[in-house]
Amino acid sequence: MAGPKWLDSEEMKAWRLYITTSVDLMKALEDDVRPFGLTMGDYQLLAMISEAPDRRLRMCDLADQLRLSRSGLTRRMDGVLSNAWVARVQDQADRRVAYAELTTKGWNLLRKVAPIHLASVRRLMIDHLTRAEVKAIGSAFEKISNNLHP
């Protein structure tokens, strides 16, 4: 590695605040979707599907995008399936493949919750930041992400 072994105080400050605050932030966002019977995991699943063509996504791709293992996704699907927010659709061409498809009920729920969730993201994070900080976070995590995914 190029850099010295330790982090200087600016770096350490950024690292520590980032790590601890991220946990708190997630819990606060979780609190804000709970009244709708959703976890953040559920919300992200619904949001991810809603942006895909035909509001459906292969299980495999969905797992990748949600950073879940395939077994993790199978279990998470149990919840959204039993609530009928998502339907399971078997692919006719390749019968190994199943799609997760947003139902009308799921779509309606998401339309109701999304503005509230995004308002939470604003209230808890974005509204406290300068435009420069927003851009810096975007570019910083973009570089970190590019390095992580070769």
Residues engaged in binding DNA (CB under 7 A): 39, 41, 58-60, 63, 67-77, 79, 88, 93-99
Asked if 79 and 42 touch (Cβ cutoff 8 Å), the reply is: yes
Cα 41 from Cα 47, distance rounded (Å): 10
Alpha-helical (H) ranges within 34-103 are 40-50, 59-66, 70-82
Q: Compute the least distance from the CB of residue 25 to DNA, in Å.
A: 14
| Closest CB to a second copy among residues 53, 150 | 150
In angstroms, rounded to a whole number, what is the distance separating the alpha carbons of residues 7 and 11? Answer: 6
Measured in whole angstroms, the distance separating CA 96 from the mean position of its chain's CA atoms is 26
Pairing verdict, β 56-58 and 98-102? antiparallel
Using CB under 8 A, pick the residue from 53, 67, 78, 94 that binds a second copy: 67
Q: Which of residues 83 and 137 has its CB atom nearest to DNA in the complex?
A: 83
Choose the contact partner of 82 out of DNA, a second copy, none; CB within 5 to 8 A by kind. none
> Nearest approach, Cβ of 120 to a second copy (angstroms)?
9
Q: Find the shortest distance in angstroms from Cβ 129 to DNA.
A: 26
Single-letter amino acid code for the residue at 65 = Q
- Residues numbered 73 to 102 that lie near a second copy (CB under 8 A) are none
45 to 26, 52, 59, 102, 146: CA distances (angstroms): 16, 11, 11, 10, 23
Q: Give the footprint of a second copy on residues 126-145 (CB under 8 A).
A: 126-129, 131-145
Summarize as ranges the residues that interact with a second copy (CB under 8 A): 1-3, 5-7, 10-11, 13-15, 17-18, 20-25, 27-28, 65, 67, 115, 118-119, 121-129, 131-145, 147-149
